Chain A
């Protein structure tokens, strides 16, 4: 199955689901009863048709298929793994952002991502960059720009 086929199928599904839920939206109690429904239904129909068109076009396509046009399943490549780890780190960051405060959570997060791409070489640089960036951004935002960022626990700075 090619990427185009996947796109077409997903678009069709989204189109139908979206169009259907638009169609079944509660009618408005004031103003025009269906004013909020016409436009999304048009969108849903359009998306469905686009998705189907892509599926049909992909079915009709002839000629040898390029391996690059289809997704590969199975083991993640190094690139894929790095993205996966970076996303996990990001989710972790979102979770500890408020409890740990901006500076600490950011040092941890940047440290993790920097370590991920740099590996064990230049650990000093990794730590230095993470710490300096976190403190620098904190100062810039909370002091110069006046945007409140979560504070560090206990020390409250």
Chain B
């Protein structure tokens, strides 16, 4: 425990340098802005802002990207509260009570409470991360290639099986991502795979381009549909952004209940911020003494999901940082970006480059304080960005997508790959193939194959290595469980409601 604290102190020494405070602020504010814009979430934010991090060095890049991630969680609620349109997926639950509050003329209280709830949720989750990260990283050192393969299988399966109705589509997306990852020269045998004789493909497909294509181009193309809607009538004049003592009394228990829930859900692969927020909302509604007020502007119904989605964004960083395995679309994008910058997140990050790992963790404490200031006293200024018409903003995102691609590869050939995947993004939306498993598959694909082959080499080709140890058996059980659970739980619900009906 003391070790964690002394490491954290080291992290603060890194994070409190002026330049890193600046990166924290920059990442957080840009993340808030991207999070505010409907349709664009943290994954798009990290992907589009990636080129900015090229010259920052590993610490700066990591700090900025994390800032974008939790900044987006702060920002997402602004549009939910003022426009009834979630700024990103994780802010859907904030609409339920946030917008009714605005209609009642309590926008100030809603904005203030969501910022405070986000802040507390983020802060508590940060503290939890400080104490969990090292034991987790140490535990994962016990993992051999077989365990790693199965851990990745679990992360992929859990993400693909997220929705019962779309489970086949999820797995198809996952398989497609894994396939793309196999393109290129095979490092172990020197054989070209799936390159169709094209020289540029020998080095493999740069997955970050695919991410920008799907998340930036695809999302913007999709939102062309809504861009012509008559512009929102938004409240632009605000009183003091604050809430009453009564509001606080109702909200703090909700925040404290939602935070651990969000943190836990975030750390699980697959689930993520949206689910954390929705579960926190439902949970709050079921324990409330006056559930009839929910949906009509109950402030605790706003505080709970906001605390939960911030806590979940911190939780989601844990498997990515300590195991090197992302559990969500956004952390997958971050992992891809970090690999490109020459950083290998995983257990060794904490021992080999503690200044990067702990610098980032420490920066998240600072970032939350900065974002509280940005989102409370300065909220009325910041939300003016929402009044900038989407018709102007979205084309600019296209511009950023192209410049980002060029900065990564320095070639315009990749522009065509980018455009192609923009189109694929639209197709995925139409066919209801979720994007997270695809992105996850593409990012972890080559590591997974390498681990898989290493494991088989170790065992001389015997598959027994994949079910020989306690850890592997547990991971297999968890994977099976995550496929079976959605079906089992809906079957249970049906039985229960049948019983209730027959009584």
Q: How many A-B residue pairs have CB under 8 A?
A: 163
A31 touches B189 (CB 8 A): yes
Q: Interface size class for chain A?
A: 35 or more
User: A101 on the interface (CB 8 Å rule)?
Assistant: no
Knowing A18-B194, A50-B175, say if A133 contacts B453 (CB, 8 Å).
no
> Closest 5 interchain pairs by CB?
A28-B189, A94-B415, A113-B395, A47-B175, A36-B186
Residues from chain B with Cβ under 8 Å of A131 in the complex:
none
Seed contacts A28-B190, A149-B406; 9 additional CB < 8 Å A-B pairs: A3-B430, A35-B188, A46-B175, A87-B419, A94-B416, A117-B227, A129-B392, A137-B400, A141-B407
Q: Within residues 48 to 94 of chain B, which ones have a CB less than 8 A from any CB in chain A? A: 51-52, 54-55
State which of B121-129, B166-174, B306-314, B323-331 sits at the interface with chain A. Answer: B166-174
**Chain A residues near B432 (CB-CB < 8 A):** 3-4
Known: A43-B175, A106-B399. A86 touches B224 (CB 8 A): yes
- For residues 80 through 130 of chain A, which have their beta carbon under 8 Å from a beta carbon of chain B? 82-83, 86-87, 90-91, 93-95, 97-98, 102, 106, 109-110, 113-114, 117-118, 125, 129
B452 contacts A by Cβ under 8 Å: yes
Closest to A111 in B: B395
The answer to whether A7 touches B431 (Cβ under 8 A) is yes
Query: CB < 8 Å: which of A39, A94, A141 contacts B403?
Result: A141
Does B341 interact with chain A (Cβ within 8 Å)?
no
The answer to whether A35 and B407 touch across the interface, beta carbons within 8 angstroms, is no
Kindly state the interface size class of chain B when it binds its partner.
35 or more
> Could you tell me if B172 and A7 are in contact, using CB atoms closer than 8 angstroms?
yes
Tell me whether A30 and B189 are in contact (CB under 8 A). Answer: yes
CB distance from A34 to the nearest CB of B (A): 9
Contact call A71/B430, Cβ cutoff below 8 A: yes
Asked whether A47 and B179 contact (CB < 8 A) given A28-B191, A94-B416, the answer is yes
Report if A25 contacts B (CB, 8 A): yes
- Distance in angstroms between the alpha carbons of A114 and B410 in the assembled complex: 26
Q: Chain A residues in contact with chain B, CB under 8 A?
A: 3-4, 6-8, 11, 14-15, 18, 21-22, 25-26, 28-32, 35-36, 38-40, 43-44, 46-47, 50-51, 53-54, 57, 71, 79, 82-83, 86-87, 90-91, 93-95, 97-98, 102, 106, 109-110, 113-114, 117-118, 125, 129, 133-134, 137, 141, 145-149
Q: Given the known A-B contacts A87-B423, A97-B415, A118-B391, are A22 and B193 also in contact in the complex, defined by CB atoms under 8 Å? A: yes
Nearest-Cβ distance from residue A102 to partner chain B, whole angstroms: 8
- Secondary structure at the A interface, as helix, strand, loop or mixed, is helix
User: B179 near A14 (CB under 8 angstroms)?
Assistant: yes
A40–B195 Cα distance when bound, in Å, is 14
Indicate if B396 sits at the interface (CB-CB under 8 A). yes
Chain A's nearest CB lies how many Å from the CB of B321? 26
B window 417-460: CB within 8 A of A:
419, 422-423, 426, 430-433, 449, 452-453, 456-457
Chain B interface residues toward A at CB < 8 A: 51-52, 54-55, 168-169, 171-172, 175-176, 178-179, 182, 186, 188-191, 193-194, 217, 221, 224-225, 227-228, 391-392, 394-396, 398-400, 402-403, 406-407, 410, 412, 415-416, 419, 422-423, 426, 430-433, 449, 452-453, 456-457
| Chain B residues with CB under 8 A of A6 | 431
Whether the Cβ atoms of B190 and A145 lie closer than 8 Å is no
- Report the bound CA distance from A57 to B167 in whole Å: 12
Asked whether, in the complex, the Cβ of A50 is within 8 Å of the Cβ of B391, the reply is no
Residues of A within 8 A of B426 (CB): 83
Chain A residues whose C-beta falls within 8 Å of the C-beta of B422 in the assembled complex: 87, 90
Contact B398 A145 (CB under 8 A): no
Complex contact B55–A43 (CB within 8 A): no
